[in-house]
Amino acid sequence: MAAATAKRRNTVYNIPMLRKRGRGLDILRYCMLIAALSLLTGRGAYAVDADGRKTIDSTGYAVIYGDNALVARDAAIADALRKAVEQSVGTLVSSDTLVSDYQVLSDNVYTKSQGYVKEYKVIREGQAQNMYQATVTAVVAMGDIKNDLDALGLLMVKVEKPRVLFLITEKGLGIYNDTLRSAGSEADVPAAESTLKEAFLKKGFNIIDVSASTGKIDAGGGSISSGLSNDAARRIGRGLNAEIVVRGKAVAREGQRISASQVGVYLADITADVVRVDDGTVLASAKGHGAARNISAASGGVDALSKAADEIADRLIDQITAKWTSGNMVTIRVAGLADYRKAADFRNLLKKQVRGVTNVYQRRFEDGTAVFDMDVKATAQAIADDLARVPGAPVKITGTTQNTIEAVFQGPQ
């Protein structure tokens, strides 16, 4: 059976042809060629399921030493499992990061491959010449990998380390703290905001402290963080060079007091959403509840507010990173198009000539200006760089943000 399997694999990979008599490749080069051929065949990967697990087919190889095929079999399976994890990591971080941080990934992620693989099944195996080959179907825990990548800061690299601004208001039980009040002053930072910041910092986010602002913040007529319009919150974010704004409102109140007890029960509720500054995309939204017991109403309220914020912090972060890991959407606005036909031609150019673009959606065409949303596997900066290199340079890039591109058509009309 093994010999028959090996014969079939030889036919697919043409292994004997890789080792011409009298000129054999050394073991390292041989393994590299085998690995390259494996990648070219594109072993399949399925979508992530509801439990955050992905099923992946991968093939591993090992050299047989001293006719000890059993040891080689174990090594080939281990190689296949490592490759399954490598494929999973490749869906979470950029190709540049895979190369530049290979040693970091190898030391901290790839070495724990069997910990990420929750189950596997060998679906094909065999030997050819002095090599053992095993193909497995592995179930990989994407959430565990994502958490480790978060700790290493590699997901932040993929999305170009966005800066986060918090705009939080908290009220009740004699408490009134607001981010806008603390700008350029010694006012208290909201307890809920402090808790959220701590959670985001632990995950590697870059936080902008509004209290360090020396200039006047343009709140568009608003004076309370939670009461700002979406546009006003984004305007403040732009003014402080933030890419993401977390806007929220927390309210504390006293619960039912136990008779004859000096200890009170204090409750808090919080709502928050996370918005991208450049295009207004909502990345996350959550509600939370907290409860605390304390003699002091003020202290109990603060404790309850902190617990409410702690309840939503991980949910917000999970939603944000889920958006990042599922791909990115970049908006490009192109002016100077003579007619609709030129807009259609440009849409086709995006699909066929720009790397990393998987889908293009034309949102609007009006007065010579077209707006397209693109599903991409790259950043807006990378897309803009590729557009600038298209033969004939049909557009001139006039501006970019983390998720948007502004351009003027300069090709033939």
Tens digit of each residue's pLDDT (9 = 90 or more) over 285-333: 999 999 999 988 888 999 999 999 999 999 998 888 877 766 678 999 9
CATH of domain 2-155: 3.30.1660.40
Mean pLDDT of 214-223: 56
Res 80 pLDDT > 90:
yes
Asked whether the beta carbons of 407 and 342 are under 8 A apart, the reply is no
DSSP H helices, 14-130, are 27-41, 69-90, 95-100, 102-108, 113-116
Q: What is the pLDDT of residue 260?
A: 73
Give the tokens for residue 154. 């590699």
Biggest alpha carbon–alpha carbon distance for the chain: 95
Asked whether the beta carbons of 338 and 368 are under 8 A apart, the reply is yes
Asked whether the beta carbons of 87 and 45 are under 8 A apart, the reply is yes
Q: How confident is the model at residue 100 (pLDDT cuts 50, 70, 90)?
A: low
Q: What is the pLDDT of residue 38?
A: 42
pTM listed for this prediction: 0.64
Burial of 411 (0-12, 13-18, 19+ CB in 10 A): middle
Q: What is the pLDDT of residue 188?
A: 65
3-state helix, strand, coil in the chain (%, to 5): 40, 30, 25
H or E element, residue 401: none
What is the C-alpha separation between 252 and 404, in angstroms, rounded? Answer: 39
Domain(s) labelled CATH 3.30.1660.40 in the chain stretch across 2-155
Res 23 pLDDT > 60:
no
What is the C-alpha separation between 379 and 372, in angstroms, rounded? Answer: 15
CATH number for 328-409 (one of 3.30.70, 1.10.3470, 2.30.30, 3.40.50): it is: 3.30.70
For residue 373, the cross-strand partners are 331, 361
Q: What is the pLDDT of residue 112?
A: 82
Give the tokens for residue 64. 């047989």
Mean pLDDT of 166-195: 80
Helix (H, G, I), strand (E, B) or coil at 259: coil
Q: How confident is the model at residue 9 (pLDDT cuts 50, 70, 90)?
A: very low
Pairwise pLDDT comparison (363 vs 215), residue with the higher score? 363
Res 151 pLDDT > 70:
no
Res 360 pLDDT > 80:
yes
> β-strands 328-335, 369-376: how paired?
antiparallel
Give the tokens for residue 175. 């408490």
Helix (H, G, I), strand (E, B) or coil at 220: coil
Q: How confident is the model at residue 108 (pLDDT cuts 50, 70, 90)?
A: confident
Other residues' Cβ atoms within 10 Å of the Cβ of residue 326 = 13
Among candidate residues 236, 239, 216, 215, the one with its CA nearest the CA of residue 227: 236
H or E element, residue 163: strand 163-172
Per-residue burial over 261-272, b = 16 or more CB atoms within 10 Å of its CB, e = otherwise: eeebbbbbbbbb
What is the C-alpha separation between 167 and 190, in angstroms, rounded? Answer: 9
Other residues' Cβ atoms within 10 Å of the Cβ of residue 85 = 25
Helix (H, G, I), strand (E, B) or coil at 406: strand
Among candidate residues 101, 113, 106, the one with its CA nearest the CA of residue 144: 113
Q: In whole numbers, what is the pLDDT of the chain averaged over residues?
A: 80
Mean pLDDT of 381-392: 84
Res 256 pLDDT > 50:
yes
What is the C-alpha separation between 267 and 300, in angstroms, rounded? Answer: 8
Q: In degrees rounded to 5, what are phi and psi of residue 252?
A: -110, 150
Domain(s) labelled CATH 3.40.50.10070 in the chain stretch across 159-325
Query: DSSP character for 247?
Result: E
Q: What is the pLDDT of residue 332?
A: 94
Mean pLDDT of 93-105: 72
Helix (H, G, I), strand (E, B) or coil at 263: coil
Domain(s) labelled CATH 3.30.70 in the chain stretch across 328-409
Length in residues, the chain: 413
CATH superfamily of 159-325: TolB, N-terminal domain (3.40.50.10070)
Asked whether the beta carbons of 264 and 257 are under 8 A apart, the reply is yes
What is the C-alpha separation between 55 and 119, in angstroms, rounded? Answer: 10
What is the C-alpha separation between 262 and 252, in angstroms, rounded? Answer: 19
Burial of 322 (0-12, 13-18, 19+ CB in 10 A): middle
Asked whether the beta carbons of 332 and 372 are under 8 A apart, the reply is yes
The amino acid sitting at 330 is V
DSSP H helices, 204-339, are 230-239, 297-325
